[in-house]
Structure 1
Amino acid sequence: MRIKRPVKVFLLGMVAIVLLWVIHSYHFQNQQFQTDRASTYSELPVAATKVVKHAFGEVTIPVKPQRIIVLNDISLLDPVLSLGIKPIGTVSYLPQYDFLFRGVTNAEAAGIEIVGIGNQPILEKVLLLKPDVILMREYQRSLYQQLSAIAPTVVIDLPSLNYSFKENLRFIAQVLGETEKAEQVIAQYYERVKQLQQLMGERLKKIEVSVINVFTDGIIATYSDNETYNQVLQDIGIPLIPALAKQKETSLFLNIEVLNKYDADILFVMSESKNAALSFSQNPLLSTLKAAKNHRVYTVQQDRWWTYGFLGVNKLLDDLFKYLT
């Protein structure tokens, strides 16, 4: 059946109207979608950033970085963990020692990827973790350009902080946006110091303490008053023996024949290994010391006393509560 021409024209007109309505509706909806999408994106929070001044200049980092890699155990991993922040990656200590980290137990570092050994990161591992900030030490300067190409990198310069474990924490806290938490950690430390002072009472003014590190082959080492354990002893009010109080060198390696210069009421001995500690305990020179005669020679763990962070410092304080009270 043939459609009459007027009807055909009418039907074509209707089709054209419908097509125009569909096209108009599509353009309107698409325009509305684009407007809504732009509005949505404008409402999404833009990652806030800040500029941090550090040893090698300035760098822009997130205000609250979430994926942090630290390239030192003693002065970076410990302080960051002390702030209640768990990094995604770190380096372990030297493999010849009996511990992975100084100041930090394996349990406290659980879940953190090890990206290198002995403060030497493997750059490929660092890259794969996609950090949003990297913390490194000033002596690792040869890696700075490569690390900066991976993520914003902040250099923590302990010499400029006078080797103070408290100022080290404050600087790291400023970088990570946790200054209030840092002051809480420091206040808790001083509270423990006060408790120890009260328990010791007048004995604080009457005893002298000496700390040495013993190695194999009859070598001992002493460290200047800016070593963390010496800072803690001074905060408590326990005087160091004159030989340590006057030491100018950061570290001094000596033959064990001069051991008597480091005698004190209480002698704390750190060792690089169990064999070194055993050898020292059997040395006849030890028995001539006042501390040995009074049974006040204590062997302490190097990974608890050799620290620049508050996890380690609190373990050190645990030992002082044990041996001094």
Structure 2
Amino acid sequence: MLRRTRQRTITDSLGRQISLPDAAMRIVATGTNTLGELLTIGIRPVGAGITTMKSQVIYRNKLQHMPDIGLQGSPEQVSLLKPDLILLGNYSEQQLPQLDAIAPTIVYREATSTFERLRYIADLFGRSRAAEKWIDRYEESVRGIRRQLADDYIAGERATVYLVLGKNIYVMGQTGFAATVYESLGFRPTESVYQLIINGRPWIHINVDKISQYAGDRNFVMVPQEEMNVNISSPLQSLIGMLSPSSVHNLHIVEAVWNYDDPLTRERLLTVLPSIFAKDRLAFVPAIDNKP
């Protein structure tokens, strides 16, 4: 006898009606935050778009033996995994029809808050209770860390988050590490950063001479660990040189591995925030993750 599974219809971010099998077990996914959100609610995909993430995210130990399907989901790689459901945070319009032919394919917008994304994904798999449990735990942890850091900063201070990659300098909107800075810690963006946020810009590349236009009362500078050495890198030194003395005084350099805002990263980031605020302005706070 053929096994029948119940189905329900959902509307994805492209407005398409997708028949979603309730019993989907073999899931593949792409997207910067999708994987962390799935793992948070207890779902381990049979494949994911981890081309760059596997060397960057703090939970890379959880990605061992997970097949890489490419940033946007290669139909050839996805097909080999025989998925029941395909979840795309990143996607290619050209490849979408091919993926649709393999399994029900849901495209969803990643440009929303962590809580919104988590609730959306959890609802797809009937795991809303797990999502709400995480959100409650996270908010309680935020209240605790804000009490712990009460003497280190004042809620409402204007802050800016920079990312230095090689010779390039970026200003972050309300995404990645900046999501924690603005949403959880209560910092406010500067007027220039606020314009990025309301315009839906996750980040912007800037020239070093524009630093002062974005600088806040407090500045967080993210740098990849491999680019950080005894001699401060030239772009980083240039950035520091363009800040006012008061801004330099409240400067924190943080490893770029924290520049994600999936639930796994955000929750663990809370545990290292006291170290970030306690370090000297040029101290480098590495991400150490040995958790299974």
Same fold (TM over 0.5): yes
Alpha-carbon distance change, 128 to 285 in structure 1, aligned in 2, over 3 angstroms: closer
d(CA) in 1 for partners of 2:156, 2:46:
47
Residue 14 (structure 1) aligns with: none
Instruction: Say whether residues 1:316 and 2:265 are aligned partners.
Output: no
Alpha carbons 2:211, 2:243 under 8 Å: kept: no
Q: Aligned partner of 2:62: which letter?
A: E
Larger helix fraction of residues? 1
Q: Does the 8 Å contact 1:214/1:270 carry over to 2? A: yes
- Preserved contact between residue 214 and residue 220 of structure 1 (Cα < 8 Å): yes
* Among 277, 282, 286, the residue aligned to 2:241: 286
**8 Å CA contact retained: 1:263, 1:291:** no
Letter in 1 for 2:252: Y
2:21 partner amino acid: P
Q: Unaligned 5+ residue runs, structure 2?
A: 279-292
Residue 273 of structure 1 and its aligned partner are, at CA, apart by: 7.1
Alignment of 1:1-325 (within 5 A): 46-56=4-14, 57-72=16-31, 74-94=32-52, 100=54, 103-116=57-70, 119-137=71-89, 139-159=91-111, 163-201=112-150, 203-205=153-155, 207-217=157-167, 219-224=168-173, 226-235=174-183, 236-247=185-196, 248-249=198-199, 250=201, 251-271=203-223, 274-275=226-227, 278-283=233-238, 285-286=240-241, 289-290=244-245, 293-294=248-249, 296-305=250-259, 307-324=260-277
The unaligned stretches of length 5 or more in structure 1 are 1-40
Determine if contact 1:78/1:103 at 8 Å carries over to the other structure.
no
- Cα RMSD (Å): 2.8
Q: Distance in 1 between matches of 2:222 and 2:54?
A: 17
| TM superposition shift of 1:288 | 5.0
In 2: Cα distance, 1:220 partner to 1:313 partner: 23
Aligned length: 269
Which amino acid in structure 1 is aligned with residue 165 of structure 2? F
Query: What letter corresponds to residue 69 of structure 2 in structure 1?
Result: V
Q: Secondary structure at 2:63's aligned position in 1?
A: coil
Q: How far 1:265 moved relative to its partner? A: 4.1
For 1:81 and 1:107, locate their aligned partners in 2 and report how far apart those are by CA, in whole Å.
12
Cα distance in structure 2, aligned partners of 1:206 and 1:298 = 17
Retained in 2: the 8 A contact 1:280–1:286?
no
Q: Secondary structure at the match of 2:234?
A: helix
Secondary structure, counterpart of 2:233 in structure 1: helix
1:28-64 deviation line (CA, Å, top 9, x unaligned): xxxxxxxxxxxxx5xx974232222212312222213
Structure with greater Cα Rg:
1
Q: 1:75 to 1:48 in 2, by over 3 A?
A: same
The farther-off stretch of 187-196 and 103-112 is 103-112
Q: Give the partner amino acid of 1:133.
A: L
Distance 2:240 2:154 in 1: 27
1:261: how far off?
A: 3.1
Matched residue type, 2:86: I
- One-letter code aligned to 1:128: L
